Amino acid sequence: FTDADRVENIRRVAEVAKLMADAGLIVIVSFISPFRAERRMARELMASGEFIEVFVDTPFEECARRDPKGLYARALNGEIKNFTGVDSPYEAPEKPEIHLKTLGKSPEEMVDALFHFV
């Protein structure tokens, strides 16, 4: 995605999530949303208390190490353009409701942290 494409993609996803939440559903959206402004826009679409930002915090180097498709290596070699963290910026959340630091933690521990938030 270009930066403009990312903005539009997040806007569309946020609008659909709002429609589903308005219908009474619990909506879980898992996206790379690299820009604070778009995350803020998504939050502002929802009623107070309906938006919970979960920051799954994994260092770039660890993401590249875990990458089963080799996308990070391809991006670092210039084969993929506009890759978040390589040639497209990532703005970490400033005050997420949940901050999951994944290094040294199992997926089960991360799920447990989510359950304890609710």
Q: What distance in Å separates the CA atoms of residue 49 and residue 72, rounded to the nearest whole number?
A: 35
Evaluated on CA atoms 62, 112, 98, 11, the torsion sign reads positive
Q: Which residues are catalytic?
A: 33
Helix orientation angle between 36-45 and 3-22, rounded to the nearest 10 degrees: 20
Candidates 78, 38, 32; CA nearest to 58 is 32
Is 90:34 a contact under the CB 8 Å cutoff? yes
**What are 16-63's pLDDT values in tens digits?**
999 999 999 999 999 888 899 999 999 999 999 899 999 999 999 999
Query: For the whole prediction, is pTM greater than 0.75?
Result: yes
Q: Which domains, ranges and CATH numbers included, belong to the chain? A: 3-117 (3.40.50.300)
